[in-house]
Structures are given as C-alpha cells and as structure tokens.
Amino acid sequence: MSRPMLEIEGLDAWYGAARILFDLSLTVARGEAVALIGPNGAGKTTTMKAIMGLVRRHARRLSIDGQDVATLATFRIARLGVGYVPEDRRIFTDLTVAENLALARRPARAGAPAWDEAALFALFPNLAGMLDRPGGQMSGGEQQMLALARALVGNPALLLLDEPSEGVAPIIVEQMIETIRSMKARGLSILISEQNIDLCNAICDRTYEIEHGALRPGGLVEKNSSRPQNE
Amino acid sequence: MSFEAFAADWPLVPALAFQAINGFASASTLFLVAAGLSIIFGVTRIVNMAHGSFYMLGLYVAVTLAPLVPGPLGYWGAVLAAALVMGLLGALVEITVLRRIYRAPELYQLLATFALLLVINDAALYFWGPEDILGPRAPGLTGSVALLGRRLPEYDILLALIGPIVLTVLHIVLTRTRFGRLIRAATQDREMVAVLGINEALLFTAVFALGAAIAGFGGALQMAREPANLLIDLGVLGDAFVVVVVGGMGSIRGAYLAAVLVAQVKALCTALGIIEIAGISFNMSKLTLVAEFLVMAVVLILRPHGLFGRPIPPAHHRGSVEAPLRPLTTTGKFSFIVIILGLAALPFLGAAFSYAPVLALDVLIAALFAASLHFLMGPGGLASFGHAASFGLGAYGTAFAATSLGLDTITAFAFGIAVAALGAALLGSVAVRLEGVYFAMLTLAFAQIVWSVVYQWEDVTGGSNGLFGLWPDPPFDSRTGLYLAALAVTVAGVMLLRYLAFSPFGYGLRAARDSAMRAEASGIPVARLRWLAFIVAGTLGGAAGGLFAFAKGSISPEAISVGRSIDGLVMVLLGGVQSLAGPLLGAGTLTVLQDTVMRETDYWRALLGGLILLVVFAFPGGIAGGLALLARRGAGR
C-alpha cells in the first residue's frame, strides 16, 4: 500500500481569534477522489485554506505525499504539487486567459499526470478559442473552467476543488462532472468540497461529512463497491 | 503672417507653449517618483513614505560619482550607477524592515517607512554634510534650442522625453514579461499568486527594488538642474503623493497622466503671470501650489479613486480590533484632578523649579495638539499625516491678528482658531471622502501646500522669517499668566474631546471606524460625522498653534513643517492609540525627550526614527497599552 497523497491528523485552524476547525482528520489516497460535504459555514473552505497554509493552523500531522507541510509557506506547498481552485475562482481578471495560464505553468513531475497544451485544450476546448480575452470578460462558467485549467498547468498531483458547481448553470455542471472524471481517470488525486450530492456521487470514491468545524461521527461514507464504478 | 508679428499680437501664446514644454520636463521627474510609489503600493499595499529618500539619495550618489570619470561616460554612468545602487538599497530595506510590517495596521506601516525617511535623511547628513552639492552639467546637452522666440535648455527637452520613454518601457515590462505579469497578478490578488507556487517574498523584494531604482534614476537625472540637498526627500514626496492620488494608486499610466496634469497646471499658472480679474490683480505664478491642491480636489470629488484607480480591495490581514474606550473610573477622575492641581502649582514652587513651567508649557501645547489628532485617529480611525496644517493655520492666524491687525490677545487667539476651523472645514470636505492611505496622503500633501503658501506669501506671513514680536496683553504677559491660561485652554480642550468621545457623536464615529458600511446602513451619516470630527480636531489643533505662537512670541514656517505632523503621530502612538490618556502621556514623554536628549545631537531625526521603529516593532500598544497590560496582570494575580 503506497503512502496517502494527503494525510491530515488533528487539524485545528483559526480566522483571527475565531477557531474554525477542531481536530479534523482525513486522508486522500493516491488517485482517489474524496468529497467533503456539509452545510455553509461548516469549515469546508477553511479546511482547503488550512492545507494551503492560507490561514493560521496547527496539526499533529499534515503531509502531502509523505512530506510534512505543516509549517511550510503557501508557495512551497504549491510547489510540492498541490493545485487549489478556490470557491470564488479568483482568476486574474486583468490578465488574459493565456497570461493566467502562463503564470501558473510549472514543470511536470513524476507520479502526477502531465498537462501539456494539447491535453489541456482537449479537456477545455472553449478556452483554446479565447486565449487573448481578459479574465474579467468571461462568463462564470468560463471563469470556472479557466480556474480549473490554471490549477492543472501547474501539473499537480493533488487538486483541491472548493465548491466547483457553485454559481454554475446545471448544464455546465454536467460538463464539469465529465471534465473532473477525466482528470481523475488520468491519475490525479482530488479533494472536493461540495453541496451538490449528485456531483459527489458521480465523481468521488469516499465522502466525509463535516459540521461545525469537525467531522460528523460516522460521517465517512465508503462508496458501495457493488455499484458500477466509472465506466 | 510672420511668427514675430503673431507673437506680438498674442504675447501669451509663446509663453504658454514654452511653459508647456517645461511642464513636460517636470512631469517626467514627478512621474519617475510616482511610478515606483504606485507599483510598490499595488503589490505590497504599503505606501512607502521613504520613496522620496531614494530620489534624494539617487541625486547624492550621482553628484558624488559623476566627477570621477570625465565626459558623458562619467555623467550617464553616474546616473545608471545611482539607479542601480538605489535598487540594491531598496532590496535591503525591503528585506530588513518592510517584511516585518506587511501584516501590521496601515498606520504603523506609514510610520515605519516615515522613520526610514528620517534615518536616511540623517545618514545623508552624516555622509555628505549639510551644504548643497552641485553636480556637473550634462556633457553635450548644455546648450539651448531657440523655440518660439525663447531659449529652451536642451536638457529639459531630454527630460520631457524621458517620461514617455520610461512609461513605454514599463508598459512593455508589465505586459510582455513574466515579471510584469506577476506584478499585475499580485496587484489584484497576491494570495492567489502564492497559491500558484510563486515566491511572494522574492517578488515583493524585486518590486521594491524596481521602484527604488526608478526613483533613484529620477533623482540622478536632476543632477544638471538642482543641487543635492537634504530637503528634497520630503518636497518630492508631497508632490508624488498628489500625483499618485490623482492618477489612482497602482496605475502607471494614471501616474503619468496625473504628473502631466499637475505639472501643466503649475506651468500654466507661471505662464499667466499677473492677471487682473474685476480690477484685482492676482499673481498667478504664486498660486501654483494652490492650483495643485485644486486639481487634486476636483479629481477626487469626481473620481474618489483617482483617474485610473480602482477601489482598493480590503487587505487580507486587518489590524487588530480596537478595544472599546472606557470612561474614567473614580480613581481616574481623581488622578486627573490631582495632575491638574499639580500643574497649576508649578509656577509657585520657587526658583529651584523655575525651568519646570517653561517645559510644562511646551508639554501642554503638545498635549492639546496630540489629543486633537488622537480624536481623529482613535475614535475617528482616520490617521492624518498633515495635522501640522491645523497647528500652522491657528498659529499664523493668531500671530497675524495680533501683529498686523493689532487685535487684543483673546480676540487674536479666537481669530487664529477660526482660521484653523475654516481650513479644516475646507480640507475636510474633500478628505473625508477618502479612507486609509489615501486620507493619509491627501492630508500630508495639504499640509505641504499650507507650508509652501506660508513660505511664499511674504506680505502676510513674513515668508521664511515668519512673524515675530508677538506680545500678549496683561494678564497673559507674565510667564505665570500665560502658563495658567494655556493650562486652562488645554484642560478645557481635553475635557471637550473626552465628552465628545462618549457622546452619541463619538459612538457614531467609532461605529463608522469599525464598519463604515454597517454604520451607514443603520442611518449614521458617516461622511458628515467624519467631517465634523475633522473640524473638531482642526479647531483644537489650531488652538494649540495659537498657544504656541504666544508662548514663543513668534512663528516661523519651520514650526509648522511636516515634522510637526509626525511629532503628533509619534506622541499618539507612543502613548497608545487605544486610550484617551495615551496622547497626553505620549506628548509629555516626547517633549521631555526632545528637550533633553534630542537637542544634544545633530542627528535627532535618526533618533526619532529609531524611536518610531522601536514603538512599531516592540511596543505597538504604546505606553498606555503597556500600563494597561501591567495592570491586568497585576489584577489577575
């Protein structure tokens, strides 16, 4: 059994003086897609930010592919192969699509799927046609695709996806499910926070339920192995 | 029609055109300082008060290096070397000082970089001495070109071209290079830049070095136009603030457009000379500074974020939440009365304490000044970097009324206070539209303008000599009489501020400070409350100025320079922003320090700068904060 892609044990996190996460533990195995579900304010976004080092946090164990990252700066965590797509996308609206992608480009790494231009535009055919468009002039769905693509060109081994379906039209959500499934099929490990159960069921192997900043007891759901898996 | 005939019919046209080209040369210089300031702010969200220092040092380094090698190589080599040295110095400053304050509250960032300005100024004094140093003229560009019947220096034409050239180069760097894209991305969302695996710290250092290098380049280019001296760091900073505020923070083309606008308006005033409106003649060339302020006021009223600016996204790390102010306890009130009685008894203690009332008078004036500034900063949440303007208006108003108008002491004092109140009402109407660093920059620029007007308007203010021979009437003509009157005014002022802080007005101000939007939504007229607070602070600051004028018997521009504003800020900070007693403690401490330690050395600026850095890094709560912490620990035991 290889070591897990992401291993969290006893994670606490704070916003200023307010404590948000309480002793949270979870793992994502290599090549696995795991969902984090729970109501608004449960701490899903904070969990992602804590992994990236964007909020004050403390953990007994916080490791990426076996390497301890609990005290690393955000950019170092990213360089270990973690891609992060925040809930509000945060693409650079002043920069064009091509510029957004160029900034995020990092060399391919062993043990992670590589995304060259061909692979990327096969996944996001729309983006290929709007490379010179400023990010600020894209629709919400297009911005979400750009945010995904921007995370992928960093050639991550682990992708943190924060509520990818939020504010996106249902027809686009359908497309997005296919897109994320093919990302997973290429071997990417994924942690998704979601409220859309259909999306979770279509993509994820396991689900953690989170509430008031802690895992709900018994909230870990392994997918029924008798159900037909992807394909 | 020949040109001569045309020029004879329309004498103003060639004058205007000539000044316009001159204006472009000045615009280039302004732009070189403002561009770096703007880029640094965009990425790091820090307004670098020490930016004028890089400009000044660039000039010093250039005039030192240029004579070493003769000819064009020496001149242009020195210009480039100065830019390079400033870039390296900028990187050093960023790594040693700026990195520690990225997460500090805005006020501390502004003060820490101002402390750098003070330290750098004294370092220049140490290395180059107090005398102006003349640089060489640019080889091959010492001539002039005949234009429109006048002679235009070749060097000015070159300078006029350098602005657009640097603008173009910067534009290419920002749009075509990875470094430039990183700057644009980080200006919008620096956290996301780190998420993409980019080392923010390195980017910040590089950006700071770039800005410092451009400023150093701008300073070095002045070598052929003005001598290196120790005043230009602040002078150029005030101008650059106006340009950056008008152009919009973070926008390069905004900075150039604003530089051109400001420089051209000044040039226009100079070209017009003396004009007559309705029988009264105005010397427009003396109104250049007022014109600068008017340009800024008009732009900010129409576009509060400047020509090309956008609302600044809130910083991800807000300063700590302010602890609520508490009314005085019985013990507190008792101590307050004991202190007042003690101060009132000082003149009657006999010859052994004869110096005590003299020092205490300085402390009282400082305390009133600091308390009035604190009202704006603490409950109002608006850190003014130009409170010296109120002090100056009050002092000059009083002195003018007492000497030139010949009014009696009390009426003259009231006149001075009225002038200060009027000035505050005027500036306040523009300033309260702004918050945070924009507010700080606008107030600093306004104070610089008041200072310059005072310096230049000799008929009324006595120019650089100031106004003197100011003798109060009886019973204020004795040292004791004046001291007791000052004590009464200060106590009344401080009690008024306390009363206001705990009135609905004060509660509204604090609500607006903690969340302007929420306050507005609950029906609190935020802008009007802030405007009133600005007037209250300005009026009492003016009262401090009036007392000062009588205490010294004279008033000169030096007493109302930006140093006075900074002293006020340091007093408030030293005492503690989160306490009403803080500014009083701070005023006492700083005044005694100035009177004892700082007057013993030529390098008091560096000392003051060191003190500021100490407070910012080690004691962010100030003296009052430290005492409160001790008291809490004592009570906890």
- Inter-chain CB proximity A103 and B181 less than 8 Å: yes
B268 vs B417: which has the higher pLDDT? B417
Residues of A in contact with B197 (CB under 8 A): 75, 78-79, 104, 106, 154
Q: How many CA within 13 A on the CB side of residue B366?
A: 30
What pLDDT does A140 receive?
A: 85
What is the spatial distance between Cα B52 and Cα B386, in angstroms, rounded to a whole number?
17
What domain count does chain A have?
1
Mark which of B302, B330, B360 sits at the end of a domain.
Answer: B302
Confidence class of residue B316 from pLDDT cuts 50, 70 and 90? Answer: very low
What ipTM was reported for this prediction? 0.92
pLDDT one-digit tens code per residue, B392-415: 999 999 999 999 888 898 999 999
Asked if B167 and B99 sit in the same domain, the reply is: yes
- Looking at the fold, whether B285 and B386 belong to one and the same domain comes out as no
Q: Which residue has the tokens 């980017």?
A: B203
What are the start-end ranges of the E strands in B537-632?
A: 554-555
**Residue B314 pLDDT more than 50?**
no
pLDDT of residue B5: 67
Query: Containing domain of residue B614, as a range?
Result: 565-631
pLDDT above 70 for B313: no
Residues 6+ apart with CB under 8 A from B208: B40, B44, B48, B90, B91, B93, B94, B98
Mean pLDDT over each residue of chain A, to the nearest integer: 89
pLDDT of B323 reads: 62
Range of the domain at A162: 6-222
The verdict on B464 and B507 lying in the same domain is yes
Q: Do A52 and B195 touch (CB under 8 A)?
A: yes
The verdict on B556 and B570 lying in the same domain is no
CATH number of the domain residue A36 falls in: 3.40.50.300
Indicate whether B169 and B250 sit together in one domain. Answer: yes
Given pLDDT bands bounded at 50, 70 and 90, which one contains residue B1? low
- Chain B nearest-CA distance from A46, in A, is 14
Burial of B457 (0-12, 13-18, 19+ CB in 10 A): middle
Write the CATH number for B239: 1.10.3470
| Domain end position, chosen among B286, B302, B318 | B302
Q: Chain B: nearest CA to A198, how far in angstroms?
A: 29
| Residue B635 banded pLDDT, cuts 50, 70, 90 | low
- The answer to whether the CB atoms of A103 and B191 lie below 8 A apart is no
pLDDT classification of B318: cutoffs 50, 70, 90: very low
Nearest neighbour of A74 by CB, restricted to B184, B188, B194 = B194
> How much of chain A, in percent, has pLDDT values that exceed 90?
68
Q: Which of B26-35, B110-119, B460-469 has the lowest mean pLDDT?
A: B460-469
Beta-carbon separation of B191 and A74 below 8 A: yes
* Tens-digit pLDDT profile for residues B212-238: 999 999 999 999 889 999 989 888 888
Same domain, yes or no: B214 and B162: yes
pLDDT range class, residue B540, cuts 50, 70, 90: very high
Distance from CA of A169 to the nearest CA of B (A): 25
Q: Which residue of A has its CA nearest to B185?
A: A92
Lowest mean pLDDT of A6-10, B56-60, B320-324, name the range: B320-324
Lowest mean pLDDT segment, chosen from A56-65, A222-231, B72-81, B571-580: A222-231
pLDDT for the residue numbered A230? 43
Q: What is the pLDDT of residue A193?
A: 94
pLDDT at B319: 43
Provide the number of structural domains found in chain B: 3
A79, B197: Cβ pair inside 8 Å?
A: yes
Nearest-CA distance from B544 to chain A in Å? 40
Q: Which residues pair with A13 in a beta bridge?
A: A21, A57
A84 CB neighbours in chain B (<8 A) are 195
Contacts of residue B623, defined as CB under 8 A and 6 or more positions apart, other chains included, come to: B574, B575, B576, B582, B585, B586, B589
Query: What integer best gives the mean pLDDT of chain B?
Result: 86
Which amino acid, one-letter code, is at B141? L
Q: Are residues B585 and B538 in the same domain?
A: no
Within this chain, do residues B444 and B410 fall inside the same structural domain, yes or no?
Answer: yes
Single out the residue in B302, B324, B355 at which a domain terminates: B302
Is the same domain home to B574 and B555?
no
pLDDT score at B637: 46
The answer to whether residue B636 scores a pLDDT higher than 50 is yes
The whole-angstrom separation of Cα B622 and Cα B601 is 25
Residue range B242-275, pLDDT digits in tens: 898 889 888 899 999 999 998 888 888 877 776 6
Beta-carbon count within 10 A of B94 CB: 24
The stretch A37-48 carries a mean pLDDT of: 91
pLDDT at res. A33: 95
